[in-house]
């Protein structure tokens, strides 16, 4: 399913080996994401791959609660 960010959120960045970098980046309002139920890189409940608008992050993993609070489904 595709989602659009409706509320800015900040998340810790992860490196190529899936370890935290200590740096944070913003998921901008209006960026679009595709839910990938096959991937789980850092133990998040929901894995989203960036489609547009957040090239710095590329992918994120968040909780179901964060998905409902910060994103809406794209029809």
User: In terms of Cα–Cα distance, which of 71, 33, 75, 73 is closest to 53?
Assistant: 33
Residue 56, pLDDT > 90, answer no
**Would strands 59-62 and 71-73 be described as parallel, antiparallel, or unpaired?**
unpaired
DSSP string, 34-49: EE-TT--SSS-SEEEE
Number of domains, the chain: 1
What is the CATH classification number for the domain harbouring 56? 2.30.30
What is the widest separation between alpha-carbon atoms in the chain? 35
Q: What is the pTM of this model?
A: 0.86
Residue 72, pLDDT > 90, answer yes
- Structure confidence at residue 44 (pLDDT): 79
Predicted confidence (pLDDT) per residue in 1-49, tens digit: 999 999 999 998 887 787 888 999 999 999 999 999 887 877 779 999 9
Domain that holds residue 58: 2-73
Retrieve residue 50's tokens.
Answer: 């960036």
């Amino acid at each position: 399913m595709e989602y659009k960010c409706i509320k800015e959120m900040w998340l810790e960045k992860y490196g190529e080996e899936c370890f935290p970098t200590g740096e944070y980046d913003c998921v901008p309002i209006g960026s679009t994401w595709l839910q990938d139920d096959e991937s789980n890189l850092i133990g998040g409940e929901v894995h989203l791959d960036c489609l547009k608008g957040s090239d710095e992050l590329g992918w994120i993993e968040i909780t179901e609660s964060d998905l409902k609070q910060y994103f809406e489904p794209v029809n």
